[in-house]
Structures are given as structure tokens and as C-alpha cells.
């Protein structure tokens, strides 16, 4: 696929008071294309949790076509076949209005692995230029995110 039909990718995550912010950021850097890290800037905001605990939120929107391609290829290559199968089975719940939502494990990412998780994730939103779930599913197959 010469030109990816992807408009942008959002990456969001948080670091709780019990987590080392630098390690959480390092985990996220491990899932991003290493040669594009200097081009990716995260907005950072601090809030107070329900019990007064500090939570630091990070978010960015990646629009650069080369960076988007490198990130999506990194996800496609490094997702396990089990995670790809799971995404295929649950894609109806992961796609909404032309976007696919993926949650990645911070602990695994810190070790350089990419795997799905349901709680306290690194949140990835890939916004496609097409909105039908069938089109998004086909694109995900073509780029290797589904088996």
C-alpha cells in the first residue's frame, strides 16, 4: 500500500503517583519509531485524582505521513499473532466513526514488547480516511494488523 489511508494517530497515556514518570515515557518511546522520536512532542498536564493523588497526562496527535507510516508498521510487525487474532475477533468494538482504538500494556512496552491490555493502557487511536467498519477492517488487514 503506497499511500496509507490514515489521517492521523493519537497517542495518550498517564503516569500515576505510584509510577515513575520517566519509565512510563520510556515505555511509550519504545512503541514509537525510534528515528521519529524527535519529531513527536507530547502535551503534558497534571491533575489531581479522586484521593488527591497526582496524575500526569500526556497526549499527542501525529499527522506527519512518514511518522504515521513508521508507527503503524511498528505496531503491525510487533503485535503477536494472538493479539492480531483478538483484534480481528473484537474489531466491531474497537472501531468507531472511522477510528480504531487500541490499548497497549505499559509494562510490556517498557520491556520493548507490544501487547494489548484492558487496564491502565497506552491508548492509540488510528483515524482512517474512510469511516465504514468494513473499509477499516480491510485496511487493517492490508497493513498487517489483523491476521
In a domain, 97, yes or no: yes
d(CA 31, CA 121) in angstroms, rounded, equals 12
- Between 142 and 2, the higher pLDDT residue: 142
Q: What are phi and psi of 45, to 5 degrees?
A: -140, 145
In a domain, 147, yes or no: no
- Between 110 and 147, the higher pLDDT residue: 110
In a domain, 66, yes or no: yes
pLDDT mean over 99-119: 95
Query: Per residue in 2-55, pLDDT tens?
Result: 688 999 999 999 999 999 999 999 999 999 999 999 999 999 999 998 899 999
CATH number, residue 26? 3.30.1440.10
Task: Give me the domain span that covers residue 73.
Answer: 6-142
Q: What is the pTM of this model?
A: 0.93
Amino acid at each position: 500500500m503506497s499511500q496509507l489511508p490514515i489521517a492521523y494517530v493519537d497517542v495518550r497515556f498517564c503516569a500515576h503517583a505510584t509510577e515513575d514518570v520517566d519509565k512510563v515515557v520510556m515505555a511509550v518511546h519504545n512503541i514509537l519509531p525510534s528515528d521519529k522520536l524527535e519529531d513527536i512532542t507530547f502535551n503534558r498536564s497534571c491533575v489531581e485524582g479522586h484521593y488527591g493523588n497526582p496524575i500526569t497526562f500526556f497526549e499527542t496527535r501525529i499527522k506527519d505521513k512518514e511518522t504515521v507510516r513508521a508507527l503503524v508498521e511498528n505496531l503491525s510487525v510487533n503485535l503477536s499473532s494472538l493479539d492480531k487474532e483478538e483484534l480481528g475477533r473484537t474489531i466491531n468494538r474497537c472501531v468507531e466513526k472511522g477510528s480504531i482504538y487500541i490499548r497497549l500494556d505499559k509494562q510490556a512496552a517498557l520491556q520493548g514488547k507490544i501487547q494489548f491490555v484492558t487496564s491502565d493502557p497506552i491508548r492509540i487511536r488510528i483515524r482512517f480516511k474512510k469511516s465504514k467498519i468494513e473499509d477499516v477492517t480491510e485496511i487493517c488487514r492490508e497493513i498487517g494488523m489483523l491476521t
